[in-house]
């Protein structure tokens, strides 16, 4: 029986996680924050000093903003291996660049220095990381963003509490319920002026008042809100933290529920403070009663170390079934030859009832060192399963090679049950090692995930074919942030081929990759005939492929030099009379150390799901930090019984997807088929020149303030280059990327069921409305019958002259006749027009509209976002005198672009 401490330990480490952040909140202080500097950033002592000053200032500002509830207690700054060693640099434990809370990295293509948070979960869900550029940390941005400490708190609120910005650069103005035009902000107590800049010359600017657009009734496109420098209002940090008076978040009393911003859209018009107070952090963080402020944060400087990996591989008797030992050896060999980075130290331990060190740490330098290790892969499976024996000898293999287990990695692969894993939990925790677990088959020990969770490692589940294993191994790359050194998976396909038959396929190789490119074929019975042809027609035949000496049924070709850009074609002939399973794997690395490759990453919204809680699949496709759009992204989710579900992911800003065209492809997962482990892998393909690189500024960032008014004058900040419409996107070549999203665990789910009676349609989040003469035109993205899949049964559309009617009393608002409206397939664009006859329509009329969706089981969705339609008849043109305003800088930035009348 497990002791009480172990049970508590398990409970702590099996909580839902999105990312292995090491931050804990203890007695009002945040511990374990990791700020990691990218290896490509040049060494600069000032960078470290400014990070310390930023966090110190942020701690005091955060303490006040949260009403004395939380502050920053200790922070780890992770120094890259590329910097010189110093006596005060310590050894990292489980801290790494790829799981840092804050990263410091240069933008790609001079993307800009706006600090932002990569945040694409739902309201209240933690973000992925905060991104600061070295330039932001080293130069004076005070007039533009305010102090760096204030900016850090703005971003921390995104990252830690899942709240969103209260401005909107795409919809900078809206018409309020009082029929006034307001700047999108929170709170409305922040004052300023709205002007259009006509001409700047000789130290002065000509400005003019903003005119109303004849179509929208809002201000013209070039209208800019310039806040007053001197304010008295204290909120809100999520609008404009740069104002001296701003020191609090918007509360229910000060929140602007009408503003068309992401906070209102994502959090159903709740205030930022309301969301923060309901976060896990604040359930037990009560205001501190001490008179003195909390102490300044303490900082530790950690320098990344050489990569140390020890394979701990199961060779127990159960590994003899279903070719598991063969498949493990095939995948481990692929990892050693193609995936792990040169210069890494690698060891190997095998275990059954006991364990043996097969290899102490060996530095990977060339092909000979690979072969030394692969020669020791186990050839015979027998005995019991003692996972702790394997782990303990893994620790020994590292220590006896004069390395520390702290920060080293273990890849643990096993298919067996072992009820004694908990006996070494304490030793694992003390070792400070990072354990990646690969559960092979349905019977692997259920506590494996605990080992990964408690050490910050990846967790995988692989079923019956080799691909699950190769995908898992391929995902375990360096955690240092050196993307250009990492292996990238282009293809991973299992092909069941009947006797004497050919099978053909293609793989595009784009110009961001091509170094160290491998093409590997495995088989189950007999080696096939292999023909590989590059884009210029050069052929590689079976004889060009190197067959492994260990007889593990794999043949490998390393493409000489740089692989040709374009479409590669392969053909395989099964020479055997019987059917056999063939697999194809292709990997490559970045072509140039200065050009980041296109990459794809994937994960589930949580590691564990309790039916009927829906989960979300997320995949990010990017180059550098820029989103890649127009990609065909498909998730494959496999259960323990081998069932594979296919799910197309969307970047359309509807359903599970937070923001349209941000390179984050999302979809609800609801195809539950029993309990246990599920695996996720994602294929991202760009074919026929459909993909493009987006150069637009990211959402969820500190607002760039164009200027202020002070003593009746406009003081403008230095301008920044704005992209022209024809430069916001760049075409990309065809590419293919495959990545594992790890595994997740499901409980409480029936074996197979019709989910129509369980999940309602997803909420409509992009409803828009406008007047066309005396008609109202609506448009939105169709939700599904079950969340975002299928075709709903019907819609309910209601209309009111008052926003609160729809927010608080939707069922009693006026019903719109929709007898002619038949729902379309999920993801389709719906358009509906109707004539409103119940309300008198005149100049200045405002109407609010919202929708609910009903599915075949009569389950109803949440109420949609509330759209606003305004009737505006432009007045007769009159001449307006231009205003001349002296300013201190002649350059300016336009804050805001096209406006559509909609309230989120």
More confident residue, 724 or 696: 696
In the predicted structure, residue 5 carries a pLDDT above the cut 50: no
Q: If you average pLDDT over residues 79-97, what whole number do you get?
A: 92
pLDDT of amino acid 724? 56
Residue among 849, 878, 876 nearest 864 (CA): 849
Average pLDDT over residues 16-28: 74
Q: Give the C-alpha separation, 213 to 517, whole Å.
A: 56
- Rounded CA-CA distance 733/726 in Å is 18
Both structure tokens of 568 = 């590669």
- pLDDT given at position 7: 32
Query: Smallest Cα–Cα separation from 780: which of 790, 769, 772, 791?
Result: 769
Instruction: Please give the Cα distance from 503 to 570 (Å, whole number).
Output: 8
Helix axes 148-161, 45-65, angle to 10 degrees: 70
What pLDDT is recorded for position 846?
Answer: 87
Summarised one tens digit per residue, pLDDT across range 767-787 is 999 988 888 999 999 999 999
Q: Among 218-227, 756-765, 796-805, 889-898, which stretch is predicted with the lowest mean pLDDT?
A: 889-898
* Dihedral sign from CA coordinates of 266, 268, 271, 274: negative
Total Cβ atoms within 10 A of residue 402: 9
Long-range contact pairs involving 44-47 (C-beta distance under 8 Å, separation at least 24): 44/134, 44/138, 46/138, 47/104, 47/134, 47/137, 47/138
What per-residue confidence (pLDDT) applies to 888?
34
pLDDT, tens only, 31-79 = 999 999 999 999 999 999 999 999 999 999 999 999 999 999 999 999 9
For the stretch 534-549, pLDDT in tens is 999 999 999 999 987 7
Q: Cis (ω within 30 of 0) for the bond into 788?
A: no
pLDDT digits (tens, 9 = 90+) for 101-138: 999 999 877 657 889 999 988 899 999 999 999 999 99
pLDDT score of 285: 87
Q: Measured between alpha carbons, how far is 615 from 741 in angstroms, rounded to an integer?
A: 14
**Residue 877 confidence class, pLDDT cut points 50, 70, 90:** low
* CA 679 from centroid of its chain's CA atoms: 18
Query: In CATH terms, are 599-691+732-747 and 768-871 the same topology?
Result: yes
**pLDDT reported for residue 805:** 87
Give dist(CA 684, CA 735) in Å, integer: 8
* Band (744; pLDDT cuts 50, 70, 90): very high
Structure tokens at 845: 């009329």
The residue with tokens 């559509």 is: 900
Q: Which pairs count as long-range contacts for 8-15, CB under 8 Å and 24+ apart, including other chains?
A: 9/425, 9/454, 10/422, 10/447, 10/450, 13/450, 13/453, 13/454, 14/449, 14/450, 14/453, 14/608
Average pLDDT in the 679-708 region? 85
Q: Residue 722's pLDDT is what?
A: 62
Distance of alpha carbon 314 from alpha carbon 332, whole angstroms: 12
Chain segment 815-871, per-residue pLDDT in tens:
999 988 999 999 999 999 998 777 877 887 889 999 999 999 999 999 999 998 888
> Cβ(490)–Cβ(54) under 8 Å?
no
pLDDT tens sequence across 189-240: 999 999 998 776 654 668 889 998 877 789 998 899 999 999 999 999 999 9
Q: Where are the domains of the chain?
A: 16-165+279-303, 307-480, 483-593, 599-691+732-747, 768-871
By mean pLDDT, which of 185-194, 201-210, 265-274, 574-583 is the weakest? 201-210
- Which of the four pLDDT bands, split at 50, 70 and 90, describes residue 880? very low
- The predicted-structure confidence for 444-502, as pLDDT tens digits, reads as follows 998 999 999 999 999 999 987 788 999 999 999 888 888 888 999 999 999 999 998 99
Task: Summarize pLDDT for 437-453 with one digit per residue, the tens.
Answer: 999 998 999 899 999 99
- Tell me what the mean pLDDT of segment 232-255 comes to: 95
Q: Which of 149, 119, 185 is nearest to 58 (CA)?
A: 149
Q: Output the 3-class SS for 392-419.
A: HHHHHHHHCCCCCCCCCEEEEEECCCCC
CATH number of 307-480: 3.40.50.410
User: The domain 483-593 is classified under which CATH number: 3.30.565.10, 3.30.70.1070, 2.30.42.10, 2.60.120.380?
Assistant: 2.60.120.380
Q: Which residues are catalytic?
A: 155
Among 463, 469, 418, smallest CA distance to 442 is for 463
* CATH class belonging to 599-691+732-747: mainly beta
pLDDT at 276: 97
Mean pLDDT (the chain, rounded): 88
Residue 558's pLDDT band, with cuts at 50, 70 and 90, is: very high
Confidence tier at 18 by pLDDT (50, 70, 90): very low
Asked if residue 570 has pLDDT above 70, the reply is: yes
| pLDDT for the residue 10 | 36
Give me the pLDDT at residue 13, please. 37
Per CATH, domain 768-871 is 3.10.20.90: no
Distant-in-sequence, close-in-space partners of 802: CB < 8 Å, separation ≥ 6: 177, 848
Per residue in 820-831, pLDDT (tens digit) is 899 999 999 999
Condensed to tens digits (0 to 9), the pLDDT of residues 284-325 reads 889 998 888 999 999 999 998 889 999 999 999 999 988 899
Strands 102-104 and 129-132: parallel
Taking the model in full, what pTM does it have? 0.90
Mean per-residue pLDDT for 543-570? 91
């Amino acid at each position: 029986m497990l002791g009480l401490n172990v049970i508590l330990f398990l409970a702590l480490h099996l909580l839902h996680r999105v990312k292995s952040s090491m931050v804990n909140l203890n007695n009002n202080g945040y511990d374990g924050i990791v700020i990691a500097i990218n290896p490509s950033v040049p060494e600069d002592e000032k960078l470290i000093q400014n990070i310390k000053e930023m966090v110190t200032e942020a701690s005091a500002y955060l303490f006040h903003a949260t009403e004395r509830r939380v502050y920053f207690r200790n922070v780890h700054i992770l120094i890259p291996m590329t910097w010189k060693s110093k006596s005060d640099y310590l050894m990292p434990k489980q801290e790494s660049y790829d799981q840092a809370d804050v990263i410091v990295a240069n933008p790609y293509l001079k993307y800009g220095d706006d600090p932002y948070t990569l945040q694409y979960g739902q309201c209240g869900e933690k973000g992925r990381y905060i991104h600061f550029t070295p330039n932001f940390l080293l130069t004076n941005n005070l007039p533009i963003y305010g102090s760096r400490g204030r900016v850090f708190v703005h971003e921390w609120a995104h990252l830690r509490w899942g709240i969103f910005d209260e401005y909107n650069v795409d919809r900078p103005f809206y018409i309020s319920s009082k029929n006034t035009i307001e700047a999108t902000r929170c709170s409305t107590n922040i004052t300023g002026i709205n002007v259009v800049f006509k001409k700047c010359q000789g130290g002065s600017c000509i400005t003019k008042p903003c005119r109303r657009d004849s179509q929208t009734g809002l201000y013209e496109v070039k209208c800019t809100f310039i806040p007053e420098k001197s304010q008295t209002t204290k909120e809100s940090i999520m609008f404009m933290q740069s104002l001296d008076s701003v020191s609090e978040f918007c509360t229910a009393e000060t929140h602007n529920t009408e503003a068309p911003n992401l906070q209102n859209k994502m959090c159903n018009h709740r205030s930022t403070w309301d969301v923060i107070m309901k976060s896990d952090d604040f359930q037990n963080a009560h205001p501190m009663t001490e008179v003195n402020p909390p102490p300044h944060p303490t900082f530790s400087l950690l320098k990344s170390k050489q990569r140390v990996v020890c394979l701990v591989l199961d060779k127990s008797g159960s590994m003899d079934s279903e070719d598991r030992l063969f498949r493990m050896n095939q995948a481990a060999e692929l990892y050693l030859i193609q995936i792990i980075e040169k210069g890494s130290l690698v060891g190997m331990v095998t275990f059954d009832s006991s364990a043996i060190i097969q290899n102490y740490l060996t530095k990977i330098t060339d092909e000979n060192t690979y072969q030394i290790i692969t020669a020791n892969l186990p050839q015979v499976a027998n005995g019991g399963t003692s996972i702790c024996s394997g782990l303990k000898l893994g620790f020994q293999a590292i220590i006896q090679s004069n390395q520390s287990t702290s920060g080293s990695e273990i890849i643990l692969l096993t298919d067996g049950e072992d009820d004694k894993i908990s006996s070494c939990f304490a030793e694992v925790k003390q070792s400070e090692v990072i354990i990646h677990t690969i559960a092979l088959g349905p019977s692997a020990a259920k506590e494996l995930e605990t080992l990964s969770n408690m050490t910050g490692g990846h967790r995988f589940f692989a079923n019956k074919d080799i691909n699950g294993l190769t995908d898992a191994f391929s995902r375990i790359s360096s955690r240092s942030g050196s993307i250009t050194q990492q292996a990238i998976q282009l293809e991973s396909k299992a092909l069941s081929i009947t006797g004497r038959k050919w099978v053909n396929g293609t793989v595009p190789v784009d110009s961001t990759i091509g170094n160290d490119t491998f093409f590997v074929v495995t088989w189950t019975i007999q080696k096939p005939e292999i023909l590989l042809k590059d884009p210029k027609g050069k052929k590689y035949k079976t004889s060009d492929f190197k067959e492994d000496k260990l007889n593990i049924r794999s043949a490998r070709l390393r493409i000489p030099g740089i692989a040709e850009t374009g479409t590669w074609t392969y053909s395989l002939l099964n020479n055997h009379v019987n059917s056999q399973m063939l697999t194809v794997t292709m990997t490559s690395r970045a072509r140039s150390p200065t050009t980041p490759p296109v990459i794809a990453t994937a994960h589930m919204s949580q590691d564990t799901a309790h039916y009927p809680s829906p989960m979300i699949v997320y995949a990010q496709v990017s180059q550098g930090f820029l989103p890649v759009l127009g990609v065909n992204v498909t998730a494959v989710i496999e259960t323990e019984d081998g069932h594979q579900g296919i799910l197309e992911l969307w970047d359309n800003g509807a359903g599970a997807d937070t923001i349209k065209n941000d390179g984050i492809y999302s979809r609800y997962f609801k195809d539950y088929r029993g309990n246990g482990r599920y695996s996720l892998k994602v294929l991202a393909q760009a074919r026929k020149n459909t993909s493009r690189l987006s150069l637009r500024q990211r959402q969820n960032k500190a607002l760039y303030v164009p200027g202020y008014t002070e003593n009746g004058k406009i003081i403008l900040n230095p301008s920044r280059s704005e992209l022209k419409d024809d430069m916001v996107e760049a075409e990309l070549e065809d590419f293919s990327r495959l990545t594992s999203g790890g595994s997740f665990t499901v409980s409480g789910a029936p074996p197979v069921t019709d989910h129509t009676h369980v999940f309602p349609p997803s909420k409509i989040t992009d409803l828009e409305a406008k007047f066309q003469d005396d008609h109202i035109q609506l448009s939105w993205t169709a939700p599904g019958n079950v969340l975002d899949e299928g075709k709903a049964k019907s819609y309910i559309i209601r209309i009111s002259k008052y926003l609160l009617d729809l927010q608080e009393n939707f069922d009693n608002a006026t019903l719109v006749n929709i007898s002619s409206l038949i729902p379309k397939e999920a993801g389709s664009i719906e358009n509906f027009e109707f004539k409103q006859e119940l309300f008198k329509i005149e100049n200045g009329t405002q109407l609010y509209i919202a929708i609910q969706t009903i599915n075949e089981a009569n389950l109803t969705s949440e109420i949609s976002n509330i759209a606003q339609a305004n009737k505006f008849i432009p007045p007769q043109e009159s001449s307006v005198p231009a205003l001349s305003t002296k300013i201190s800088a002649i350059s300016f930035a336009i804050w805001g672009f096209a406006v559509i009348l909609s309230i989120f």
